[in-house]
Amino acid sequence: MPHKIADDFPVLNQTVNGNRLVYLDSGATSMRPVAVLQAIDDFYKKEGANPHRGLYDLAQRSTEAYDGSRAVVAKFIGADYEETIFTRNASESLNMIAYCYAPLVLTKGSNIVIPISEHHSNLVPWQVLCKSHGAELRYLYVDKSTGAIPDSEIAAKIDKNTKIVAFAHVSNVLGVMFPLEKLVAAAKAVGAITVADVAQSVPHMKLDLHALDVDFAAFSGHKMYGPMGIGVLYGKRKLLEEMPPFLYGGDMIEDVREQETDFLPPPSKFEAGTQNGGGAVGIAAAVNYIESIGWDAIEKHEKALMTRLIAGLNALPNVTVIGNNDPDARRYGVAAFNIDGVHPHDAATILNDYGIAIRAGKHCAHPLLSYLDVEFKACCRASLGIYNTEEDIEKLLATIPEVRRRMNFVD
Ligand SMILES: Cc1ncc(COP(=O)(O)O)c(C=O)c1O
């Protein structure tokens, strides 16, 4: 890494319960560097007017900041400006597809296919939609020991009645990357559209959505070093043109007559009302920050940390890595594990006593945890960001044995 990245993140410079904070929950939300905080502060201190509304200087500069932020984000994900819609978060983006596009293609007897490992945000909207349309929600069952989706599942589940194939690019529990190209090819072969939930991949790898050829994609700013409250919906231009608006209101209107309304084309068509200007500026600053470090450095650093983490977890007695436990298998950002006989909530609470922040529970993926049939139907998850260091990983590995000791196991 070019410099000690953690120094760019003021929140990391604190002690928790008398210990240096070791933040290992970036899969839930990543922290924000000074550059992002500064950009948001500047927007409200120096511009702060409502974008797209006024003709005075401040309003023009707000408009430039907002539209300019979209251009930065669009370039970052390999999309066109018109295809990049600001939302509140990945959940809202996925719901927008389910509410607005899916009803155009879903009929009684058709089906939607998703992996069993999906985050609820990419599962519940489809479940509700299938129920209301008399459609079937079909699951691709992952291999329990590798987390991978077998080709046979793709071949068996995607058929001529499939209208939508929705999947995480990277699973928020298993950490594996799903075979996006295969899923896109299988969906295309039957005329289904694809929805990629890239919430857990966008902070860890360079994405080119045009090259990946997905129809829709969704992610959140707060998992990629940006602020909370801003997310992105990507859609191919033709699909966004066909899709009706989600919300109606100001700033998405071409003309309104007493009984009719003409909408602006995308992206404005999907951004009714005053938007999150500070959030847009913040997510663009996060993109610039990531690019200033560079993908090669980020990937190399995170891969080294993850390899050490998985190898270290494997070496600990009474610890089981969930999904693929091969240290060399590429995992992106997240390592899920369990400590024998210890409920993950107890594990996380005890680790917090040592200043270590991990997530524990079902990770908004209840069907996956039931399917994996792990103890307590829950697990611990340590997730990485660019600011984590070898020291953080060693601290976690050295503290995990304390958890069983504190729970009165005699090992
Ligand atoms: C894979 C995945 N998809 C979607 C989401 C939902 O993100 P948000 O809560 O920002 O809408 C998450 C959040 O953890 C996630 O991990």
Write out pLDDT tens, residues 25-62.
999 999 999 999 999 999 999 999 999 999 999 999 99
Query: Domain boundary residue among 234, 256, 291?
Result: 291
Does residue 193 belong to any structural domain of this protein?
Answer: yes
Question: What angle is formed at CA 92 by the lines to CA 233 and CA 114, rounded to 5 degrees?
Answer: 80
What is the Å distance from ligand 1's center to 39 Cα?
24
Q: What is the mean pLDDT of residues 116-143?
A: 97
Question: What CA–CA distance (Å, rounded) separates 30 from 279?
Answer: 15
What is the Å distance from ligand 1's center to 150 Cα?
24
Does residue 32 belong to any structural domain of this protein?
Answer: no
Is 276 a pocket residue for ligand 1 (Cβ < 6 Å)?
Answer: no
* Residue 3 pLDDT: 66
Q: Are residues 180 and 139 in the same domain?
A: yes
Q: What is the mean pLDDT of residues 105-133?
A: 97
Does residue 153 belong to any structural domain of this protein?
Answer: yes
* Residue 33 pLDDT: 98
Ligand 1 atom at minimum distance from 197 CA:
3
pLDDT band at 187 (very low <50, low <70, confident <90, very high): very high
In this structure, are residues 187 and 165 in contact, taking their beta carbons and an 8 Å threshold? yes
In this structure, are residues 52 and 66 in contact, taking their beta carbons and an 8 Å threshold? yes
Q: Are residues 64 and 135 in the same domain?
A: yes
DSSP state of 255: E
Q: Would you say residue 69 has pLDDT above 70? A: yes
User: What is the chain's Cα-based Rg?
Assistant: 22
Which of 30, 86, 119 has the most ligand 1 atoms within 8 A of CB, as the residue to mutate?
A: 119
Of all residues in the chain, the percent with pLDDT exceeding 90 is 97
Is 90 a pocket residue for ligand 1 (Cβ < 6 Å)?
Answer: yes
pLDDT band at 410 (very low <50, low <70, confident <90, very high): confident
Which has the closest alpha carbon to 235: 281, 179, 195? 195
Residue 185: both structure tokens together: 């090819």
Does residue 133 belong to any structural domain of this protein?
Answer: yes
In this structure, are residues 83 and 266 in contact, taking their beta carbons and an 8 Å threshold? yes
Is 130 a pocket residue for ligand 1 (Cβ < 6 Å)?
Answer: no
* Residue 387 pLDDT: 98
Q: Are residues 382 and 240 in the same domain?
A: no
Q: Are residues 126 and 240 in the same domain?
A: yes
Catalytic position from the list 130, 364, 379, 380: 364
Is 199 a pocket residue for ligand 1 (Cβ < 6 Å)?
Answer: yes
Question: What CA–CA distance (Å, rounded) separates 206 from 296?
Answer: 9
Does residue 256 belong to any structural domain of this protein?
Answer: yes
What is the Å distance from ligand 1's center to 90 Cα?
6
Residue owning the nearest CA to atom 9 of ligand 1: 91
What is the Å distance from ligand 1's center to 116 Cα?
15
What is the Å distance from ligand 1's center to 228 Cα?
12
Residue 320: strand, helix, or coil: strand
Is 383 a pocket residue for ligand 1 (Cβ < 6 Å)?
Answer: no
We report the CATH number of the domain holding residue 71 as: 3.40.640.10
Ligand 1 atom at minimum distance from 168 CA:
1
Residue 130 catalytic? no
Question: What angle is formed at CA 244 by the lines to CA 164 and CA 212, rounded to 5 degrees?
Answer: 40
pLDDT one-digit tens code per residue, 278-334: 999 999 999 999 999 999 999 999 999 999 999 999 999 999 999 999 998 989 999
Does residue 411 belong to any structural domain of this protein?
Answer: no
Is 117 a pocket residue for ligand 1 (Cβ < 6 Å)?
Answer: no
Q: Are residues 185 and 132 in the same domain?
A: yes
When the pLDDT of each residue in the chain is averaged and rounded to a whole number, the result is: 97
What is the Å distance from ligand 1's center to 173 Cα?
11
pLDDT one-digit tens code per residue, 97-114: 999 999 999 999 999 999
What is the Å distance from ligand 1's center to 120 Cα?
8
Q: What is the mean pLDDT of residues 137-141?
A: 98
Q: Are residues 259 and 329 in the same domain?
A: no
Of all residues in the chain, the percent with pLDDT exceeding 70 is 99
* Residue 81 pLDDT: 98
Does residue 85 belong to any structural domain of this protein?
Answer: yes
Is 121 a pocket residue for ligand 1 (Cβ < 6 Å)?
Answer: yes
The CB density around residue 309, as the number of other CB atoms within 10 Å, is 26
Does residue 29 belong to any structural domain of this protein?
Answer: no
Q: Are residues 81 and 17 in the same domain?
A: no
Q: Are residues 211 and 340 in the same domain?
A: no
Q: Would you say residue 75 has pLDDT above 80? A: yes
Q: Are residues 156 and 228 in the same domain?
A: yes
Q: What is the mean pLDDT of residues 354-365?
A: 97
Q: Are residues 54 and 153 in the same domain?
A: yes
* Residue 2 pLDDT: 52
The number of domains in the chain is 2
The H or E element spanning position 234 is: strand 231-235
Query: Domain boundary residue among 291, 322, 352?
Result: 291
Q: Are residues 44 and 183 in the same domain?
A: yes
* Residue 364 pLDDT: 96
Query: Domain boundary residue among 291, 323, 358?
Result: 291
Q: Are residues 207 and 310 in the same domain?
A: no
Q: Would you say residue 402 has pLDDT above 90? A: yes
Domain that holds residue 12: 5-24+294-406
We report the CATH number of the domain holding residue 370 as: 3.90.1150.10
- For CA atoms 277, 283, 284, 289, the dihedral sign is positive
Q: Say if strands 162-168 and 253-256 run parallel, antiparallel, or are unpaired.
A: unpaired
Ligand 1 atom at minimum distance from 29 CA:
14
Residue owning the nearest CA to atom 7 of ligand 1: 90
- Which residues have a Cβ under 8 Å from the Cβ of 217 and sit 6 or more positions away? 77, 195, 196, 197, 198, 209, 232, 233, 234
Is 168 a pocket residue for ligand 1 (Cβ < 6 Å)?
Answer: yes
- Burial label for 389, CB within 10 Å (0-12, 13-18, 19+), is middle
Which of 126, 170, 364 has the most ligand 1 atoms within 8 A of CB, as the residue to mutate?
A: 364
pLDDT one-digit tens code per residue, 144-176: 999 999 999 999 999 999 999 999 999 999 999
Question: What CA–CA distance (Å, rounded) separates 316 from 217?
Answer: 38
Residue owning the nearest CA to atom 13 of ligand 1: 28
* Residue 1 pLDDT: 60
* Residue 411 pLDDT: 80
Q: What is the mean pLDDT of residues 235-243?
A: 98
- Which residues have a Cβ under 8 Å from the Cβ of 66 and sit 6 or more positions away? 51, 52, 275, 277, 280, 281
Look up the pTM and report it.
Answer: 0.97
pLDDT one-digit tens code per residue, 241-262: 999 999 999 999 999 999 999 9
